[in-house]
Structure 1
């Protein structure tokens, strides 16, 4: 009797490694987009900059613009978790104290530069808006869970829309006003201030 053959070849990638590869590709794409523009950047160049093949780039992303999504979506899970644990009576911006302290989920300078590019690059703008559109249901579920509300209650969806708009407005406001070409610094403290201000404004309509 012939012994059963064991599996040959490389072991499958873990989800953590896949996420890391996506992030490496995203950072490489952003760097190239900033340096030479979206139109002048190819999938092959993104792959080389990320240390992977162009085939790997297209395996993870359908278009070169979509390569940036892992950077834009950073923090969605962190925000949703903070919303679920948000104590009644606590100001909304304080619900994210752990996020401010740990620097988890806060966009970095590369994201600020990317957001500035969305003003002139329709493909990147579409990805930016789609990322926020997909985040909204996650926020709504977290707020419903926090309030013990049924699935058919419309209020969590409204609150999530307000929160989502506040977060996007704060990041865009910070990114646009800290354009290095205008001599302005892109600091974490200024971004945190913008986010706290926006969240406080949104919280007036969230109970």
Structure 2
């Protein structure tokens, strides 16, 4: 009788740990991009900053620019849930209270100034711009499903599809407007957060007015 095979070596990583590693790589890439530019940054440098090999970096991401995607996309599920649970008659701009503003990937969290600088880099770095726009493109169906669920419509219905497109465009424009106009890293975090909330509220209020 053959003895059962005993697995040796390290245990496989959990999905939670994989997500943590992806986020660690993303934050390291952002710091390097902001400090020395995208062109001067290598996969080896990103890996060294996290304590992993360049091979590990490429296992998680196909390019150095794509390393930042987790920071851009981490707020999508939170936003979709808020859209789905919005109270009847609640103004769209009221979704963006302080709690939700902190959840937004592009400009939220403890590295707000650094990630804000990353958003500003999307203006001049085509590779980062492509990742930034792709993130919003992939978020739009999630927003459409949330709006359709709330209204009792099919996800492919034209109304939630158009509403999601308008919401998504207003959100991206608001985030960019805020990031491109708040370049001072010494700015008070509380003030910057309040300005972000105000900007998102204004952007969504304009979208709610529709086209005139």
5+ residue gaps in structure 2? Answer: none
Give yes or no for contact 2:96–2:201 (8 Å, CA) kept in 1: no
2:139 to 130, 135, 152: 135
Partner of 1:172: 176
Q: Equivalences for 1:1-207 in 2 at 5 Å?
A: 1-97=1-97, 99-100=99-100, 103-105=102-104, 107=107, 108-180=112-184, 187-205=192-210
Q: Deviations over 1:100-135 (max 9, x none)?
A: 37x222522222110100111111111101111110
Shift of 1:202: 1.8
Give yes or no for contact 1:178–1:185 (8 Å, CA) kept in 2: no
* TM-score, with structure 1 as normaliser: 0.91
Shift of 1:185: 6.1
Shift of 1:184: 6.3
Q: Distance in 2 between matches of 1:120 and 1:130?
A: 16
Q: Distance in 2 between matches of 1:31 and 1:67?
A: 12
Q: Deviations over 1:145-198 (max 9, x none)?
A: 1110023411111011111111101110011111128x8666111111111111
* TM-score, with structure 2 as normaliser: 0.89
> SS state of the match for residue 57, structure 1?
helix
**Across the two proteins, how many residue pairs are aligned to each other?**
204
Give yes or no for contact 2:98–2:193 (8 Å, CA) kept in 1: no
5+ residue gaps in structure 1? Answer: none
Q: Distance in 1 between matches of 2:209 and 2:188?
A: 30
Cα RMSD after superposing both structures:
2.0
